[in-house]
Amino acid sequence: MSASGGKKAIIAAFLANLGIALAKFAGFLITGASSMLSEAIHSVADTGNQGLLLLGGRRSERAADQEHPFGYGRERYFWSFVVAVVLFTLGAMFAIYEGIHKIQHPEPLENPAVAIGILGVAFVLESFSLRTAVHESRPLKGDASWWTFLRTSKVPEFPVVVLEDTGALVGLAVALVAIILNIVTDNSVYDGIGSVVIGVILGVIAVFLCVEMKSLLIGESASPADRRRIDDAIAATPGVVRLIHSRTEHVGPEEILLAAKVEFESGLDVAGLAEAVDRVESAVRAAVPAARIIYVEPDLYRDPAGSAG
C-alpha cells in the first residue's frame, strides 16, 4: 500500500463528509430532527478528523533530527489517536446528549420527506467514501479478515477511515428508521432514541480506535510474517552461524527498527565481520524493505547452562 493510496482515501472521505455535513445541517434547519443534527455533528467531526489525518501524514514526512533521531513516523499514530478522541467527545457525547434532551423534551418533526431525501444523498456519498477506503486498503489487507486487518494494521489511516465510514452508514440507517417511526407513530421520542443509538455506535468505534492507536503509540513489533522473513533472511546469510534473537518495533507505519544478536563464523577478522554484518543488513532490507533502521550485534550463542556453543 502506497502513501498516495492512504491520502486518496482520506481526501475522498474529507470531501464526502464536508458535503454531507452541509446537507445534514440544512436538513436539521428544515425539519428540526434531533437525529439529523446528531448526524450533522458526526459529519463535522469526521470532516475535521480527515483534516487531522492529512496533517499527521504531512508532519510525519519530516526528516530525522537530533531530537528525534528515528524520525517523525509516529506522528501518524498520534493524530489518529486524536481523531479517536474527537470522535468520542464531539461525535458520540454530543449525539447522546442531544438524544436524551429530545427524549425529555420531544418536538414535532417538520418536512420528514426532506430529511429522508438528505439521508439518501448522505448514504450515497458515504458509500462512495467507504468504497474508496476499502479499495485502497485491500493490497494491505491481503487475505486477512477485516477484523484481523483492523486489529493488526500498522497503517492507522485505513482503520480510522473504514470504521468512521462504516459507523456513518450505520448511523444513517438508524436516523432513517428513527424518522420513519416518528412519522408512523407521530411520536418524536423515537427521534431522540435514534440520536442516542447513533452516539453509542460512535462511542464504541471511538473506544476501539483509542485502544488500537494507543498500542501503536507505545510501540508494536513488526507483523509475524515480517518477523519471520527477517529471521529467515538473517539465518540464510553467508557467514551467519545462527540468529540468537531479534527485536523489532514500528517507528512509523512503513518503517521498522530491528535489533539482532547474531553468531557469525569464527575466525573472521574485523573487516570480515563488518562485511558479514553488511550482508545481513542487505539481506534483511531485501526481504523486508520497511526494515530501514538495523542494528546487528555479533555474539556467541550460549546454552541455558551458560556455556558457549
Q: How far apart are CA 99 and CA 106, in angstroms?
A: 10
Instruction: Tell me the domain boundaries of the chain.
Output: 3-218, 224-298
Do the first three CATH levels of 3-218 and 224-298 match, i.e. the same topology? no
Task: Write the CATH number of the domain with boundaries 224-298.
Answer: 3.30.70.1350
Mean per-residue pLDDT pooled into runs of 10, the chain (309 residues): 64 86 83 73 81 90 90 92 85 86 82 83 87 87 90 90 89 89 88 89 92 93 95 96 95 94 92 95 96 95 61
The confidence score (pLDDT) of residue 94 equals: 83
The confidence score (pLDDT) of residue 147 equals: 92
The confidence score (pLDDT) of residue 280 equals: 97
The confidence score (pLDDT) of residue 197 equals: 93
Beta bridge partners of 256: 250, 291
The confidence score (pLDDT) of residue 286 equals: 97
Single pTM value for the model: 0.81
Question: How many CB atoms within 10 Å of residue 231?
Answer: 17
What's the CA angle centered on 223, arms 222 and 225, to 5 degrees?
120
The confidence score (pLDDT) of residue 8 equals: 80
The confidence score (pLDDT) of residue 5 equals: 52
In this structure, are residues 284 and 276 in contact, taking their beta carbons and an 8 Å threshold? no
The confidence score (pLDDT) of residue 19 equals: 87
For the chain, the farthest-separated pair of C-alpha atoms sits apart, in whole angstroms, at 89
Among candidate residues 60, 268, 51, 19, the one with its CA nearest the CA of residue 168:
19
Burial label, 8 (beta-carbon count in 10 A; 0-12, 13-18, 19+): middle
**CATH entry 1.10.287.1400 includes domain 3-218:** no
